[in-house]
Structure 1
Amino acid sequence: MDNTVEKKCRVFQPFTIIRERQRSYPVDVEALAKDFNISIVNKDWPDDWSGAIGKDDNGFFIIVNKNHPKVRQRFTIAHEIAHYVLHRDKIGNGIKDDWKYRSRNISDTDEREANKLAAEILMPADLVGQAAVEVIGAPGVTSGERLSERHLAGVAKNLEVSTTALSIRLGVPA
């Protein structure tokens, strides 16, 4: 196998694992972490810290602020999984993200990439469309243009994400 194909196979594998977990909503991010052999630790942290990813002798782990709402914890787990998939070589002693998902030891570009992949993990277009059909009974919704606030809240509830995260994903004002 040539070097290019090997690189593509390594890049492709995480996305295959992610797609397997996106067969129905809400996406089980805790099971996804287990698929990557990442343990999850819930920690009593100050409100301004959301989560972190690190590595020790037992492998990779994600720390989640147990005081945050469940939808925020789910996004944090997805965000840290995204760091694992995209920036594993940069994790080193760990990446600790504040409530805005910013870190002192990784670039803003890397944080934006992790946010984007986290949103894609939790809210892939096909599942957003399915959840919207269930809420409003109209097929073909993959943008927020046809969703009222009530419908947006219903779709967010089905996906177990915040209305803010869903609004950003759909490109509509929250």
Structure 2
Amino acid sequence: MRPTPPGYQSKLPKMLSSALDTAERVLEYCKNHDLLTDYDAANIEDLIARDEALSLVYVDLQDKDAYIKCNSDEDFEIGINKRHHRNRQRFSMAHEYGHYQLHRSDIKRMAVGERILHRDGEINPVERQANNFAANLLMPEASVRKALKAASNDVATAAKLLQVSIAALDFRLANLGLNNGK
């Protein structure tokens, strides 16, 4: 790579949020823009705040987790249940951000106030994609391993370090084949 001359300013546009269509690309963007947590996961709230087309609101959603809605082609709103624990809110933000990146053209047709975690085992492919996207943003494999090491393989402590729920971390560990950190 050639060195940048002093005073040079690129005329190339900054990376468009629509180019962040994989968790890996989002994490790379976060790394390049100082948007990572202490455990190298996405700082999801700051990431959402940086996108001019997104707004984040905390509302009473009763039994719903979160929603994303399209107000116009350049105006999307992520709503998070203000009653939920902060770690649950973070996963909801990441899940809805996943819909924004992966399913943006379909958001107008999605039900507002969807359920994010389907504990009855029923989940459609679109929701599974958003859940996986969120898990990869908040719990990248290297971050999970780093937190588990710092927590002496105690899942509850590692979940606190990663700022996620124990249930979310257990699910991620199973998906990574780490069998509760062992």
> Which band: TM-score by shorter chain?
0.7 to 0.9
Any gaps of 5 or more consecutive residues in structure 2?
1-15
Tell me the distance in 2 between the aligned counterparts of 1:24 and 1:63: 26
Does the Cα contact within 8 Å between 1:135 and 1:154 map onto a contact in 2? yes
Q: Does 1:100 align with 2:117?
A: yes
Does the Cα contact within 8 Å between 2:94 and 2:137 map onto a contact in 1? yes
Q: Does 1:114 align with 2:130?
A: yes
> Aligned runs of 1:20-99 on 2, under 5 Å?
20=30, 21-22=35-36, 24-25=38-39, 27-37=42-52, 38-46=54-62, 48-57=63-72, 59-92=75-108, 94-95=110-111, 96-98=113-115
Tell me the distance in 2 between the aligned counterparts of 1:29 and 1:122: 8
State TM-score, norm by structure 1.
Answer: 0.74
Any gaps of 5 or more consecutive residues in structure 1?
1-8, 137-146
Report the CA distance between 1:22 and its aligned residue.
Answer: 3.9
Tell me the distance in 1 between the aligned counterparts of 2:171 and 2:64: 21
Q: Does 1:170 align with 2:180?
A: no
Pick from 147, 153, 156 the counterpart of residue 153 of structure 1: 156
Does the Cα contact within 8 Å between 1:27 and 1:159 map onto a contact in 2? no
Report the CA distance between 1:23 and its aligned residue.
Answer: 6.1
Residues 1:101 and 1:31: Cα distance change in structure 2 (over 3 Å): farther
Report the CA distance between 1:133 and its aligned residue.
Answer: 2.1
Report SS of the residue matched to 2:68: strand
What is aligned with 2:4? none
Residues 1:88 and 1:101: Cα distance change in structure 2 (over 3 Å): farther
Residues 1:12 and 1:34: Cα distance change in structure 2 (over 3 Å): same
Amino acid in the other structure paired with 1:70: R
Amino acid in the other structure paired with 1:169: R
Does the Cα contact within 8 Å between 1:24 and 1:127 map onto a contact in 2? no
Residues 1:130 and 1:115: Cα distance change in structure 2 (over 3 Å): same
Report SS of the residue matched to 1:68: coil
Report the CA distance between 1:113 and its aligned residue.
Answer: 0.6
Report SS of the residue matched to 1:60: strand
Identity rate, percent:
33
What is aligned with 1:140? none
